[in-house]
Structure 1
Amino acid sequence: MQLPPLNALRAFEATARLMSLSKAGDELHVTHAAISHQIKHLETWLGRKLLQKSGRGVALTPAGAEYYLAVSGALAAIAHATGNMRRDHNMRSITVGCIPSIASRWLVPALPSFRESDPDLDVRIVYARAEERFDDESLDVLITMGEDLSAGRESRLLFSRRNQPVASVHYLAKRNWTIENVPFARADLLHDESVDGWKEWFRKAELKPTEPIRGPIFQDFNILATAVIAGHGVALCPVEVFRREIERGDLVVLSDISTAETQGYYLITSAWAKKPVRRFAEWFIQECNSSSLR
């Protein structure tokens, strides 16, 4: 095989990904000058210009962009294969990172059925932050909001994040309102992290809210869910995630107008995930598709 110098490849991949010689040097624990030398060495070896100056940083040439796609995928494959070699060969356990809203409503309640179907595989569940990205050194599966388009990753959609106004029937009865006739401007609005979600909904609904928009703001989405089910007010919730609560009648959808339609919750694995990880992924995707919102 005619392979280029591997240290130079690592320097090029890091620089192209970070768009900075200095940041690449920090990541690889070498100097800015060393990174520059390695890239020049690689360009000489290939006979092609890969990077060019762009302001205070660097940019890929067309040839560099094409080469980066191949190099990043190949290095990701090597890293994953190496990680697998260092793990238990028989893979008796997997680690699943999951954001709290999906863990509490879907993953944890369904786990007994996975243990019945795959009793020899232990599953370790850890909470993941919404901004956390997949790292196959610490996780086998990540269930989070948003997909991962990085090389060597597979993202599969679990739920749309389409948000619609919901409330409990007890709240509506307390206010003498019907599902078809909710005066949203006078409702007790519940907020997820900020009032921006409701601002966007009122804009799309072409309704004028009471100014300023009031109501409790919840940092944790599970606390917001508890509040709306308990009848404290009206919340914008991802209706697919709350499918079972809606089907049971714990919550009712108050409007067809929605926000965040293009966003979603995804299950992310390595593109080279082992069979136990793929079995878990297929099982959980099937669980999430087990009933549909009409």
Structure 2
Amino acid sequence: MNRVPHRPLSVGALRSFEAVARLLSFRAAAQELHLTQSAVSRQIQALEEEVGAQLFTRGTRHVELTTAGATLQRAVLPMLERLDATVRQIRLARGRRQVSISTFASLASLWLLPRLEAFQRQHPDIDIRVSATDNMADLDDPEVDLVLRYTLPSAVPPDSQRLFGERLTPVVNAGYLAQSRAGLAPPLESPADLARHTLLEEDDNRPSAEYLSWRHWLRQQGVPRLEPARWIYLNFTYQQVQAALAGQGVALARLALVHESLARGELVEPFGAAARAHSPYAYWLITGRATRPRPELAQLQQWLLAQAAASCLALGEDAAPAA
């Protein structure tokens, strides 16, 4: 058979092939596809010409797949299933409103997602797409409507809106501190006592890591050379928080991301609010440059700003105007 080596196969012919291969009948395939039997037969013949191999053996009363046909069937079936699933998704989503948000994993896990259910209850007709990645989102990406970014004020676009600032504070599991105060674990009453405890450190080489590190905090507390009993290095902030909640050590936590755990008593500040350290970094709401104004976008923006204002109130800071 003659064939064109790089010419793509017709999807219509593949649909007919799949039906005949599954039903092993040209007549049944034609009925299922609402085509004439001769039309299905012509599509299969054209496909065999394209592939360069016979796909079926045709008997008087039966049809069987050849080896080449069976090989093609294994490739075609999952491809058509994915295609059909995608089309179903597009049809279901047609007419629904959607807003996409890009942010980093820890802010998504510790701040955004626990609150998002409330927005969805208020706006059940708006679909939210959250992309959580520590790679900096491209503000020109047409697939990104809103970006929640952690950075310096000098690094955000002029129309960005500040959500809340950054403060760092040592935190431990409430039971961990109770054991210490009961004499069942080493004391934890002053920064110098950390020499007998495990410190949970975010292992990060970005510029912001200077302010997130235990070394920076220990210098501010007057114990720059302190060495803890051991270190546990973790990739993400939310892992630090999880480890602290599990009683595995003391985390230097981002207050904005753990204040609710502190309010619930799950985490505690062993040295109190006086040991909190400030950072020049802050959390920002940024609109993508390619984003078109629409009601659902404005609704989510307003809701995010209201949630941020509530966080500011809990943190004891004023919500700041746009940069």
TM-score with structure 2 setting the length: 0.56
2:149 maps to 1:129? no
Q: Distance in 1 between matches of 2:264 and 2:173?
A: 11
2:283 maps to 1:261? no
Over the residues paired in the alignment, what is the CA RMSD in angstroms?
3.1
In the other structure, the counterpart of 2:315 is: 293
Q: Which runs of structure 2 are paired with 1:3-82 in the superposition (5 Å)?
A: none
In the other structure, the counterpart of 1:186 is: 196
Q: Distance in 1 between matches of 2:195 and 2:224?
A: 7
Structure 1 residues 90-99 or 276-285, which shifts more?
90-99
| Partner residue of 2:166 out of 161, 167, 179 | 161
Q: Distance in 1 between matches of 2:260 and 2:309?
A: 12
Letter in 2 for 1:232: Q
Shift of 1:231: 1.0
Q: Distance in 2 between matches of 1:257 and 1:287?
A: 26
Alignment gaps of 5+ in structure 2:
1-92, 317-323
Q: Distance in 1 between matches of 2:137 and 2:229?
A: 30
Give the match's secondary structure for 1:241: helix
Q: Distance in 2 between matches of 1:153 and 1:111?
A: 26
Alignment gaps of 5+ in structure 1:
1-87
In the other structure, the counterpart of 2:302 is: 282
Shift of 1:225: 1.1
| Number of corresponding residues | 207
Alpha-carbon spacing, 1:171–1:150, altered in 2? closer, same or farther (3 Å): closer
Letter in 1 for 2:202: D
Give the match's secondary structure for 1:97: strand
Structure 1 residues 114-123 or 136-145, which shifts more?
114-123
Residue deviations 1:197-235 (CA, integer Å, cap 9, x gap): 111111111114434884010012221110011111111
Contact 1:143 1:268 (C-alpha < 8 Å) held by counterparts: yes
| Partner residue of 1:141 out of 136, 142, 146 | 146
Structure 1 residues 207-216 or 230-239, which shifts more?
207-216
Shift of 1:169: 1.9
Letter in 2 for 1:161: E
Residue deviations 1:123-178 (CA, integer Å, cap 9, x gap): 11111315434334220001121167679663222232211111112222333367
Contact 1:153 1:268 (C-alpha < 8 Å) held by counterparts: no
Q: Which has the larger radius of gyration?
A: 2
Q: Distance in 2 between matches of 1:204 and 1:149?
A: 24
| Partner residue of 2:178 out of 173, 182, 201 | 173
Shift of 1:289: 2.8
Shift of 1:237: 0.7
2:123 maps to 1:107? no
Q: Distance in 2 between matches of 1:245 and 1:220?
A: 17
Q: Distance in 1 between matches of 2:155 and 2:225?
A: 40
Give the match's secondary structure for 2:129: strand
Contact 1:93 1:121 (C-alpha < 8 Å) held by counterparts: yes
Q: Distance in 2 between matches of 1:100 and 1:113?
A: 20
Shift of 1:117: 2.3
Q: Distance in 2 between matches of 1:236 and 1:186?
A: 16
